[in-house]
Structure 1
């Protein structure tokens, strides 16, 4: 069996083995294909010709595949040797005898081979089981085997090497260690920042050589974000509430690094929401726990050696003191060492509060309160005497091009919160009035209380500048109470409730009646959006235990938690009905008994839509090129913004755009010279295994990374072990990612990283591929992206989330809280532009009811239907669907400054006489570019109905022409009275003007 191995001998790169290292570890510089042979091999020297050679390999493996296949290859011929016999195989060492077919020379023993199965981007490495390939005749001569020498252990590349922190200590070494520390309940191993602790089930051999509870010495610079580790290893019991405290570090009596400069990442910090984090760390007996220590070294500190102590404490074991000496020297680090992330200097970012202050973000306006009415951009929200919404109004025009003086009522009546006692008697609330607790440009907050015979209702609410409203409604029993129901009514105006999406409904016309029940195990559904183009309301039902679920293929692995209040053991639900111009949304929880003093939190959030008017001019002039290419080439194609995905030379690693930042900056500088803007792919949904901080993050348990069954690509299995969810994988560069847990301190790092990329690298924005963080993080990101005049452009792509793995949610509904901070949508893979009706386009794809515009993706989109909503596809996404032909027509017509008048508004001056052939008019002075698209079941024909007065065109001088557009339409001329044919699923783009 011939293997695809190169004939070149390997260039060896040493990993600097320590004195105690029995075998060197080197890198093979990617000189073989790991997907057939595995990531590690032993390199064997045979000194003499023999029928058999025997090697004892001291491989010290952390993996547990001791039954894996052993493949021996002759380096001279690159052929597999079949005459192989294994002896004793353990994680510590292995005995392998083989036939040295070329006599003396070098042989390779691959001892962890695997085959990759599954999707290319979601692979699983299956490790091969050991087989017997030796001939019976050869096996009879093994007694005469000559000894072979193990030259070194070789990893396919440096990243795949287990050295030094995954080279395990042997059982005999550990026994000696335990015997020498028999009186101790646990051991402490100080470790520097360049050797992150990786294993939790084994001690590294490095620690055996260095010893436990030893003094620690290291170097740092003034002003540095310095880090180091403490490894804790319980011997005789499991440790509870492990913590670290620090003394001052002193240089004689002259200078001090104060104890308050130190902290432990694993036990204390600042959360994504700026709230203090205090974590309980317990360590099971025989396990290893890394505790990462952070130190903010003062910038003005004199050079010299600073000494002090680090104390490891536990609630059920004595304290252990470790001497520490830091040698401070070198120049002051103005950037705190951030430019050297391999030194873990950016771990401090995990506790950042950057951009947390709720400052107003353009185009939103500061909140203004008059009495109980709060005004914000295009909307007004009025608080009732019970603290709940009393009135919601929007002022956007039907065309979504600006604001009107006349409001549109979203509510037909105030919200009602109703409790009915057993037997149907309604609890009568006595309101105690509203008290405002905060009033700032970004936030207005209030509280209110109401009581009834058996219940007390405490309402805490706030509204923010973008139209987000959050409520905590705490209901407390004043006595033992049996209830038939507790429900909240949202009475909406029929005029503001044309469409609906959510609650297991695809986007479209709202049904006249509808019933929905909770199914959190399989459905990512806790609310809906109901609205019209220029007025609407998104609501979400929660309780105090709400945790953002996973999304994008992973919902089922971390679904919603059923709210104790609204869900009520699946008794709750939502019922929608329509009568007398009112659409009633009843959110009920069903019958229950409450004990005296028991409280329930009927929390909910609202988003008042739209968030702002349409910026159509930005849609016409902002043209994306969604692929890495030379800036000159991109400019020549007419694009204005290039999106740099991951798996590209300047952004190779998914969601970790820091390693090739110098190349990225050079590219961006060149693009700026060409008049282009550059955005990069960077989300927090998953993280590359190339991240410098990967193992420090793993030490935080499930705070950053989601629990899971492990598996996935080989690197993950061999270096993370288990308890993770394998995510996206790029075969070309072997970039393997794991899924993040949701809301965590990694979002603080993300915000800091965005700020650094904006200020130091010059990015002009980000491309989001689905979103795994909440609106708080989105606001922070938008603030740092737009600092100091940077454009901060954000576009969001989503694959259609309405499927089993994503919990049947609507992408627009799922991400609506982010819409105020986006510039464009790209919805997306698996969106069907052929079979869905115009109402689906309007609600789930276009973004128009929210003040956004979008583009199409799947199969290049339907260009005729897309133009009804101002959408094209994105270059160079699909052959034959080149947007440049449309751009050319836009430019020739002069789309800048045109007024978009869609089929959804009575102001549209050009319509058809066919109910399923729709039009949108882009109107300039005495000119109109009219987009026409058919949703008829087959080929059809139509007549134009033109309001010449609205166009300002003399019908006697009018001309109607269809410019030639490649892959769209042939050139044609029409009259206002003639019948115009239209092919199924297609349309026209016509120019109506006066003859010159």
Structure 2
């Protein structure tokens, strides 16, 4: 064997010389230790020597390769001590090392040290190795100016290996040298060059061209093989060889329906748009195309022309010929991600229509009155709500008004017209106009089937105008202004007076009672949606007005006036300014206590499968989080379709519904369309400072924002995510993906975890799920540390959700009842929820009909609600009427205002939940409306059942007192 090695090395060297010194590229048969880096050169030393010269044409694309360590070992893993660097750059690594013996050596040229944590990776590349021994340098004349490589034995490069196939640079990240680029550019009179590529070779680099193109040369033809009913994707890379290209345009000639995704499409609101694509000199811009192949396509070759032009350059044309095979692809190719057929989802309008979705019914208009599922809104001639009724409750004390105040005082605005411009089942729209002194006001309004009202107010001047203030006033009936949250206020009782200036991730507020309320969000910023830790846009400029604007609350005995003001400004003649806002009436739907008490959740992020024994506790739904073997990759469940489908089918057979984690905010590096999405610039992916896990640094290199990280299957695979931007065509892809998952995996809905899209996405999601599988479920989780008050951040989602799970980072023992009511329970919004952090507080939770999810484990606390669920089932709580302390006719009260009670009532028996917010142990008595619960007090029997980790069983009588420790409580049954 030893005699073969030198010959093999010579053969590789000869092949490398013939092909511009390109060594063979391969994937290691067995992955080596990860910390040695993801790439190595395999070299051979023919004879024993103390110093061997080596030159590796590695063609790297990483930043500052000279700053990374060279780690050289022999086949046994023994590290070489002496390495003398001659030249380390992106093209070559040239050095002398001391091998000690002949044989094969491994040159690891990107080693790193790091720690894989759940959620993030921390570490860095190793810095350059220690300097070699001075004696060794001098002995081999390595410090002399007259050093010559030919005087030393030379190692031969056998191949370059990647640790895994996913780590490989070959072939699309093996770059051309400067000399090769120069020769290519000088060989043509064209200012830009075109390189058509198959979808199986996504173009990855923008800063260089791959060596593959040096061999293949530019081309004006593309040949591909497609199947009938396939959505066929391919690429044409544009290399701006000699000059900058301005505003690339693409046109097509032929009988095919062809799309270029880079130059335009359909945005997330369903509107066509065009993109301006410039290419800097020396850079590469990849254009991705999709071709619709009809199901009845005649087999054979079919051609069309793709012409690529720029404002400052002569057009060039590529003739595309597709050989359509006589084979029908049933799903357009969507089940095989490598085909990139799902790129067409970027331009989807699925779920965009004006029709209501269950449980909502069609809007009805009678003159200026609009009725919807939960109530009605009456407009005045100015287009604003004159009255709002929810749950038969009058919400407004007086009409909503937009006030313009000048130095002369509040200006009188005379309405001139109110006309309705749309009357569909799901949306009714109108326009109202009015005149003031020296200005006009136009109100564009609409109401949707879920109780949402959208407004855009345009103030236009006819002459220079000094405005003292322009503001929105919403006067709420005092009886329905019990609670408030937002604009800096945590959920709680509505203050009598309050002042706030724009700061923090705030742009909305909610004010109301359990019976009726509304949320108001001020619009006009460059991002609309939940303001999470990742999305902190500047405030809406018209309302903010360089911090002259703000928000205030002022109450009297009759009303609470919520005012958003913009402050002083001067407007020139003919100038216009838009003030936009959205209102959502609450509760958004009728509360479903039966669903709360029967559809119980199993939620274990690492092990989403319950045991069959667990099903006996009444579990009906399991959430499959990401970062587990069933669904490993964040926000891209399409890779793990087989494991998910097997899981879903099995648990469906056991009567369990299955929901999965699938959101938008960050996206795994494992996504097959990664390079196509990167070719869209910053449309899908947010720009950031880069860094993070080495794979990201080595392949994405720059202009990305590091997010979630998780190791998969031990250490051999990783989910290293990057952040997606705000509203984009990825929304459309997501919606189509959701429909595909419901159809093909048979999931029962989604578990949403601090997502960032706006309400229109929730509406689309609900529509596409209901269209395929009515009864699908959406439940929402949030961390208060991210969203600074999730109940307010996510109010716009509430019409389309089934369940709330707010509580990560919550301290349930310190939250007053009003905070529980507004931010945790969901009750004022027509929802109910579950507790989360550290098991919640089971005593207080029961007052709001809440438990934790089984077997959620957090902060070292195991949370097990099954003994409480057992009481639920024995009492048949699902069919009981829930009546809480917040209701005037609650049949059970205590004699201590710090101890609150909720009754779950059947005729003739009741389950009473009592919880204390007192700071010390107290004794309380119950005041019971016996008639309301249908029990003869003389025959009433109390039971305090034993509930593990909740209460000890003990006797109790109606005359007795409950001794309750702080934060604790009791469950009692009376019949």
C-alpha offsets along residues 609-653 of structure 1, whole Å, 9 cap, x if unaligned?
000111111111111111234455353554211111111222111
Q: Distance in 2 between matches of 1:551 and 1:939?
A: 40
Q: Distance in 2 between matches of 1:776 and 1:629?
A: 30
Of the three residues 663, 667, 690, the one matched with 1:687 is 667
Q: Distance in 1 between matches of 2:774 and 2:572?
A: 56
2:83 is matched with 84
Q: Secondary structure at the match of 2:815?
A: coil
C-alpha offsets along residues 536-585 of structure 1, whole Å, 9 cap, x if unaligned?
11001123x54236744323xxx223323211121111121012311111
Unaligned runs of 5+ in 2: 1-14, 142-150
2:911 is matched with 929
Asked if structure 1 preserves the Cα contact closer than 8 Å seen for 2:71 and 2:129, the reply is no
C-alpha offsets along residues 27-84 of structure 1, whole Å, 9 cap, x if unaligned?
23662332x2222111222332222333211110011222233343434432332222
Asked if structure 1 preserves the Cα contact closer than 8 Å seen for 2:806 and 2:835, the reply is yes
Of the three residues 481, 500, 507, the one matched with 2:465 is 481
Of the three residues 342, 346, 351, the one matched with 2:347 is 351
Of the three residues 110, 131, 134, the one matched with 2:108 is 110
2:252 is matched with 246
2:939 is matched with 957
Is 1:560 aligned with 2:542?
no
Q: Distance in 2 between matches of 1:283 and 1:504?
A: 45
Q: Which aligned pairs between 1:518-537 and structure 2 lie closer than 5 A?
A: 518-519=502-503, 523-537=504-518
Classify 1:322/1:125 alpha carbon distance in 2 versus 1 (closer, same or farther; 3 Å): farther
Q: Which aligned pairs between 1:596-635 and structure 2 lie closer than 5 A?
A: 596-627=573-604, 628-630=607-609, 632-633=611-612, 634-635=614-615
C-alpha offsets along residues 164-201 of structure 1, whole Å, 9 cap, x if unaligned?
111110011001011112x3222221111111111111
Alpha-carbon shift at residue 156 of structure 1 (Å)? 1.8
What CA RMSD, in Å, does the superposition of the two structures yield over aligned residues? Answer: 1.9
2:192 is matched with 186
Alpha-carbon shift at residue 290 of structure 1 (Å)? 0.9
Greater displacement, 474-483 / 42-51: 42-51
Q: Distance in 1 between matches of 2:123 and 2:776?
A: 40
Q: Which aligned pairs between 1:848-863 and structure 2 lie closer than 5 A?
A: 848-863=827-842
1:411 is matched with 396
1:704 is matched with 684
1:55 is matched with 54
Asked if structure 1 preserves the Cα contact closer than 8 Å seen for 2:907 and 2:933, the reply is yes
C-alpha offsets along residues 817-873 of structure 1, whole Å, 9 cap, x if unaligned?
111111111112101101111111111111111111111111111111111111111
Is 1:264 aligned with 2:256?
no
Q: Secondary structure at the match of 2:903?
A: strand
C-alpha offsets along residues 908-937 of structure 1, whole Å, 9 cap, x if unaligned?
111111111111111112111111111111
Classify 1:79/1:956 alpha carbon distance in 2 versus 1 (closer, same or farther; 3 Å): farther
C-alpha offsets along residues 633-687 of structure 1, whole Å, 9 cap, x if unaligned?
3535542111111112221111100112112111111111111111100001111
Q: Distance in 1 between matches of 2:773 and 2:908?
A: 37
2:125 is matched with 127
Of the three residues 751, 768, 772, the one matched with 2:752 is 768
Alignment size in residue pairs: 941
Asked if structure 1 preserves the Cα contact closer than 8 Å seen for 2:172 and 2:201, the reply is yes
1:332 is matched with 328
Asked if structure 1 preserves the Cα contact closer than 8 Å seen for 2:70 and 2:129, the reply is no
C-alpha offsets along residues 194-219 of structure 1, whole Å, 9 cap, x if unaligned?
11111111111111111124422111
Q: Which aligned pairs between 1:898-937 and structure 2 lie closer than 5 A?
A: 898-937=880-919
2:620 is matched with 640
Alpha-carbon shift at residue 346 of structure 1 (Å)? 0.5
Classify 1:562/1:333 alpha carbon distance in 2 versus 1 (closer, same or farther; 3 Å): same
Unaligned runs of 5+ in 1: 1-15, 249-256, 396-406
Is 1:223 aligned with 2:229?
yes
Asked if structure 2 preserves the Cα contact closer than 8 Å seen for 1:631 and 1:676, the reply is no
Q: Secondary structure at the match of 1:295?
A: strand
Q: Secondary structure at the match of 1:675?
A: coil
What is the TM-score of this pair, normalised by structure 1? 0.92
Classify 1:244/1:939 alpha carbon distance in 2 versus 1 (closer, same or farther; 3 Å): same
Classify 1:80/1:992 alpha carbon distance in 2 versus 1 (closer, same or farther; 3 Å): farther
1:12 is matched with none
Is 1:580 aligned with 2:557?
yes
Q: Secondary structure at the match of 2:941?
A: strand
Is 1:273 aligned with 2:269?
yes
Q: Distance in 1 between matches of 2:259 and 2:897?
A: 67
Of the three residues 253, 278, 282, the one matched with 1:282 is 278
Q: Distance in 1 between matches of 2:702 and 2:778?
A: 35
Greater displacement, 233-242 / 532-541: 233-242
Q: Distance in 2 between matches of 1:716 and 1:884?
A: 44
C-alpha offsets along residues 444-492 of structure 1, whole Å, 9 cap, x if unaligned?
1111100112111111111111111100111110112121111121111
1:781 is matched with 765
2:735 is matched with 751
Q: Distance in 2 between matches of 1:483 and 1:612?
A: 41
1:462 is matched with 446
What is the TM-score of this pair, normalised by structure 2? 0.94
Q: Distance in 2 between matches of 1:488 and 1:791?
A: 39
Asked if structure 1 preserves the Cα contact closer than 8 Å seen for 2:174 and 2:210, the reply is yes
